[in-house]
Structure 1
Amino acid sequence: MEINLISDTVTKPTAEMMYAMTHADVGDDVFKNDPTINALEAKVAQLFGMEAALYFPSGTMANQTAIKIHTQPGDQVICDKYAHIFNYEGGGVSFNSGASCKLVDGHRGMMTAEQVEAAINPPDFYHSPLTRLVAIENTTNKGGGACWDFEELTRIKAVTQKHNLGYHLDGARLWNALVAKKETPEQYGALFDTISVCLSKGLGCPVGSVLVGTEEAMLKALRIRKIFGGGMRQAGFLAAAGIYAIDNHIERLADDHKRAKELGEALNALKVVKKVEPVETNIVIFEIDTHTMSEADFLAKLKENNISIIGMGQGKLRMVTHMDYTVEMHTITLAILKTI
């Protein structure tokens, strides 16, 4: 049995999701004539209490489009040093938008309102880039699936309003945060100018992300998506998976969180593990005590038992629980860990 804990992106559609996909009513979405795409966009916009939404092939494209909406070449984006838009989107902020990132040294990918305000460049000081956007990631990938304090997000909103800055949420795993913190999409929709959410991670869809915002912002996003090559034709087959997932797969994220916490506890009990980041959602990040065992040997030991995880660099390893990580797989993984 292969046990893949590399990411929550490795899942396959369930039989019920496949049924929904193969029975989707489709058209040509480039002409905005795909009824299932239109239904998904309307559904997500309504969930967040926002005016409009746009479907994307990937979370990266959705984020990059949002950044392009909010900035002009030469502008600057404030984000945490762990931010996905800076670390894992191929330098897209500079390539696609001609903007730069002002990195904040936050805690596990999360910064404070005071740090954000301190990072804003004086708008009349023409020697420095013009600060135009604050970008947040919730949950934080590199921070180990950490969830932001909503009150802090509200305080940052006040800073963005004071300085007339855009406010974007990379909500790739926002569904996880909503379940873990018992929050609602409407709370986030009332706070942010634009929000991207992934369907292809915790919700188990094969493809897709959605960007939400104002009607005006989504009209701009439609043009940018076209320029980026993100227009798709009978994509309703994919959107049907998203509709099914939103209706059926959100609450079950609590199961992933429970198993991740149990993995964290098992790792904490090992002498070879130096540190385990606090586990809030479905991501477990930990460090090996290299005086006891090398990272390569630890990975090899897991691989011998058909368990795959991923290295994140700087001595950090990551496990991610997901829909296709079953109770049986979890029992086996916990037993193997006890032998290391």
Structure 2
Amino acid sequence: MIDLRSDTITRPTSGMREAMIEAQVGDDVFGEDPTINALEKKAAAYFGMESAIFCPSGTMTNQIAIRVHTAPHTEVICDEKSHIYLYEGGGIAYNSFASVRLLQGDRGRITAEMVQDNINNPDDVHAPISTLVSLENTMNKGGGCVYDFKEIEKISAVCKDKDLKLHLDGARLFNALVATEDNPKSYGQHFDTISICLSKGLGCPVGSLLLGNKEDIKRARRVRKVLGGGMRQAGFLAAAGIYALDHHIDRLVEDHNRAKSVAEELEGLSFVESVLPVETNIVIFKLADNALSVNFVEKLKQNGILAVPFGKHDVRFVTHLDFDDDMLQDLIVKLKAI
């Protein structure tokens, strides 16, 4: 089977497995796991931030950040396609008792002007207090599209002027960095917190990190404890993260090139109505003739291709570490045969 359901389905490489086996470990709840400590320090330094905390998932790091930056009766401003809103189980309401202001951006990317226009009057008792803006880069529902960093700078300026916190759901931030060649430390200068996933494009089996200043990460550790995210000898997992940061970032361009090749082939097929522009490793295409995505995904499966429905008529492919050039050619042959 050619599995393009997600970049989370990858398995550790031989080098990563070796690093995991050889990891030195301790009790992380006591702060004594040297490999976790090293990973947190390395990730924070990469983005020019003070501190970091290792967690099991990106959902947890996002939800911790929201909890740290909000309180009951406050509001999070984000795009309507945001992962924190659509795919985290209603966690904003359940974990933080906060409201959400949903904006309609360009494939999930909002602007500084939109943020400015949607900040509530703090003196109006009828409205929740706007306290947090959350961006997602790359934007999953937007086909892996990438923010223009100049717009991020403008959004950051609005947040600073209006005393709002700025969080980044950077589950696939490394894909964005490879695509744009932006300086990762520039992100650390503009965001209060950044969530990064190690288990997507970087190919780790488990793990995400929340980055921020020392005070916010100190509070994050308390929230992680409440959410049940304290881990013990998790240095085996952290070793995979260190290995990925050292060896798996630059190779993301291979995933991007293969995704663009897939998109080019799809555009010429009769069952495809349109394909979203491909900037990184996500390909989203709309089926022609109002065909249902659930039925088409089943047809793909019968032809040895795994994908996910991404709307009533939309299908998503995600390229990744375990999808090579031979599989790409096999995929093209199979798609043309449908």
Range class of TM-score, shorter chain: over 0.9
Secondary structure of 1:313's counterpart equals coil
Which residue does 1:178 correspond to in 2? 177
CA deviation after TM superposition for structure 1 residue 295, in Å: 3.2
CA deviation after TM superposition for structure 1 residue 305, in Å: 1.9
Which residue does 1:164 correspond to in 2? 163
* Alignment partner of 1:319 is 2:317: yes
Q: CA separation in 2, counterparts of 1:300 and 1:70?
A: 42
The TM-score normalised by the length of structure 1 is 0.98
Q: CA separation in 2, counterparts of 1:325 and 1:257?
A: 11
Q: CA separation in 2, counterparts of 1:229 and 1:327?
A: 41
Q: Which moved more, 1:294-303 or 1:322-331?
A: 294-303
Q: CA separation in 2, counterparts of 1:318 and 1:296?
A: 11
Q: CA separation in 2, counterparts of 1:164 and 1:89?
A: 26
Secondary structure of 1:190's counterpart equals helix
Q: Which runs of 4+ in 1 moved over 6 A?
A: none
Q: CA separation in 2, counterparts of 1:216 and 1:296?
A: 46
Q: CA separation in 2, counterparts of 1:301 and 1:157?
A: 45
Q: CA separation in 2, counterparts of 1:160 and 1:33?
A: 36
Q: CA separation in 2, counterparts of 1:181 and 1:188?
A: 13
CA deviation after TM superposition for structure 1 residue 314, in Å: 3.3
CA deviation after TM superposition for structure 1 residue 337, in Å: 1.3
CA deviation after TM superposition for structure 1 residue 321, in Å: 0.2
* Alignment partner of 1:64 is 2:63: yes
Which residue does 1:43 correspond to in 2? 42
Residue deviations 1:129-162 (CA, integer Å, cap 9, x gap):
0000000000000110000010001000111011
* 8 Å CA contact retained: 2:297, 2:315: no
What amino acid maps onto 2:4 in structure 1? L
What amino acid maps onto 2:205 in structure 1? P
* Alignment partner of 1:280 is 2:273: no
Residue deviations 1:185-220 (CA, integer Å, cap 9, x gap):
101011100000000000000000001000000000
Q: CA separation in 2, counterparts of 1:294 and 1:80?
A: 26
Q: Give runs of aligned pairs for residues 226-245 of structure 1, distance below 5 A.
A: 226-245=225-244
CA deviation after TM superposition for structure 1 residue 297, in Å: 4.5
What amino acid maps onto 1:217 in structure 2? D
Q: CA separation in 2, counterparts of 1:100 and 1:295?
A: 32
Residue deviations 1:268-300 (CA, integer Å, cap 9, x gap):
111211110000000001110135x54345323
Q: CA separation in 1, counterparts of 2:108 and 2:265?
A: 24
Secondary structure of 1:147's counterpart equals coil
Q: CA separation in 1, counterparts of 2:19 and 2:292?
A: 46
Which residue does 1:216 correspond to in 2? 215
Secondary structure of 2:289's counterpart equals coil
Secondary structure of 2:131's counterpart equals strand
Which residues of structure 2 form unaligned runs of 5+? none
Q: 1:85 to 1:294 in 2, by over 3 A?
A: closer
Q: CA separation in 1, counterparts of 2:298 and 2:48?
A: 47
What amino acid maps onto 2:322 in structure 1? D
* Alignment partner of 1:137 is 2:136: yes
Q: CA separation in 2, counterparts of 1:183 and 1:317?
A: 30
Identity %: 55
Secondary structure of 1:77's counterpart equals strand
Secondary structure of 2:310's counterpart equals strand
Which residue does 2:261 correspond to in 1? 262
Residue deviations 1:64-115 (CA, integer Å, cap 9, x gap):
0000010001110000010000000000000000001100010101011111
Q: Give runs of aligned pairs for residues 72-151 of structure 1, distance below 5 A.
A: 72-151=71-150
Secondary structure of 2:64's counterpart equals helix
Q: CA separation in 2, counterparts of 1:264 and 1:190?
A: 35
Q: Which moved more, 1:14-23 or 1:311-320?
A: 311-320
Which residue does 2:200 correspond to in 1? 201
What amino acid maps onto 2:227 in structure 1? F
* 8 Å CA contact retained: 2:167, 2:191: yes
283, 307, 310: which one aligns with 2:308: 310
Residue deviations 1:205-236 (CA, integer Å, cap 9, x gap):
00000010000000000000000000000000
Secondary structure of 2:61's counterpart equals helix
The TM-score normalised by the length of structure 2 is 0.98
Q: 1:211 to 1:294 in 2, by over 3 A?
A: closer
* 8 Å CA contact retained: 2:263, 2:275: yes
Q: CA separation in 2, counterparts of 1:3 and 1:229?
A: 35
